[in-house]
Amino acid sequence: MIAKVTNYLQSIGVGYTLIRHQAVVTTEESKQVVHVENCMSCKSLYVKDKKSSNYYLVVLPFDVRAEMRGLASYVGCAKFEFATEQVLFDHLGVHRGCVSPFAFLNETQTNAPLLIHKSVLEAPNVKFHPCDNTATVVLCQSGFQKFLHCINKRTIVVE
């Protein structure tokens, strides 16, 4: 998957830095292992509307608590719940600990909107797993914005 992500970024003309490291599952582990100055560590969550079959990818700064009711309110839902491991694999081709916006390159069954925290879009640089938790891809904000534009996702900014 790392090659799929880096090849895609190259194909759309987005520069990046690839950092290989030991496997990390949580953003806290990533922050301790992958040190990049002036770069926002982000967490990505694949969630489902508790009362429907609608899924969403949520991207937050690593230190922002995912308040499921508040996030769900941005799309008119009562509450989100985390997608199951099987759904993660079926929809995005990833496992827990490997979810990131790059998983949209594997998306098969849904056209899940992206809910993204305002501060992620304001950070000079951002970093995500390339759907493999033994590597991290660092992008400048303009590169990240170009990636989002090219994948043509419905994007909802949250605070």
Share of the chain residues as helix, strand and coil, in percent rounded to the nearest 5: 35, 25, 40
Report CA 37 to chain centroid distance, whole Å.
Answer: 20
Per-residue confidence (pLDDT) for residue 157, from 0 to 100: 95
What are the Cα distances from residue 159, in Å, to 27, 57, 70, 118, 120?
Answer: 19, 15, 9, 6, 10
CA 73 centroid distance within chain: 20
User: What is the predicted pLDDT for the residue at 121?
Assistant: 96
Task: State the CATH number of the domain containing residue 94.
Answer: 3.90.960.10
Instruction: From residue 54, give the alpha-carbon distance in Å to each of 51, 90, 119, 125, 134.
Output: 9, 14, 25, 30, 30
pLDDT greater than 80 at residue 88: yes
Question: Residue 22: what pLDDT?
Answer: 86
158 pLDDT higher than 80 = yes
* Model confidence at 83: pLDDT above 90: yes
CA–CA dist 145, 73 (Å, integer): 24
- Residue 156's φ and ψ, nearest 5 degrees, are -120, 120
What is the tally of structural domains in the chain?
1
* Whether residue 148 has pLDDT greater than 90: yes
- How far apart are the C-alpha atoms of 104 and 67, rounded to whole Å? 23
The structure tokens listed for 79 are 């509450």
The one-character DSSP state at 140 is E
Q: What is the DSSP letter of 83?
A: P
In this prediction, residue 37 carries a pLDDT of 85
Domain assignment of residue 20, given as a range: 2-158
Is the pTM value of this prediction over 0.85? yes
Predicted local confidence at residue 50, as pLDDT: 86
Question: What is the structure's pLDDT at 75?
Answer: 92
Q: What is the pLDDT of residues 103-137, one digit of tens each?
A: 999 997 778 999 999 999 999 999 999 999 899 99
Q: What pLDDT, in 10s, does the model give residues 31-77?
A: 777 878 889 989 999 999 988 889 999 999 988 888 888 898 899 99
